[in-house]
Amino acid sequence: MSQEPLPSHPPHPFPPYGPPSYGSSPSYGSPPSYGSPPSYGSSPSYPTYPWQPQPAAPEPDPLPVPPHRRDAQGHHGDLRLLRGAYRWQRRTAALTALGYFTLFLVLSAYAPSFMTGELVGGLPTGLVLALVQLPVTWLAIALYEHTARRYVDPLADRIRKRAELDAQREAAR
């Protein structure tokens, strides 16, 4: 009786490692072949979850909409003027009130001898300047209202009237 030599390694029941390659048309019923080497950095050519529906290709855009002759709120120059007037109004009123308060704080910190000096009737200068803060705040409010009436409101009224006319024209079409 002759004995055959035993192989050094028993045959492996699975094919070598590698990503499944389904070829051009995937067949989900047959097992994948593992013969090709892995391709790193690329996405697989098969669906990740074949039981989920695949996203449909986006439909082409319909014909482009012709541009309007003029947008309903297309008064960009007027809006730019309104923003500028409103910005100027806010800055003027805020700098009036905050500027005086900052001056009061700077004098309190760096000129204590001036702030403790006496004015009319034995009142310290610091107290008088602190009491003047209230009329300065009223002045800032009055300045805000004045600039609103003089500059901002006429621009806003003009834009509002044009918007109403544009809305009426659009409704008539």
Q: Hunting for tokens 């669906």 — which residue is that?
A: 47
pLDDT at res. 79: 83
Q: Hunting for tokens 């699975």 — which residue is that?
A: 14
pLDDT at res. 72: 47
Q: Is 140 in a helix, a strand, or coil?
A: helix
The predicted model scores a pTM of 0.47
Residues of the chain with pLDDT under 50: 27, 72-73
Q: Is 109 in a helix, a strand, or coil?
A: helix
pLDDT tens digit sequence for 11-60: 555 555 555 555 555 545 555 555 555 555 565 565 566 666 666 777 76
CA dist., res. 164 & res. 38, Å (int) = 67
Strands (E), the chain: none
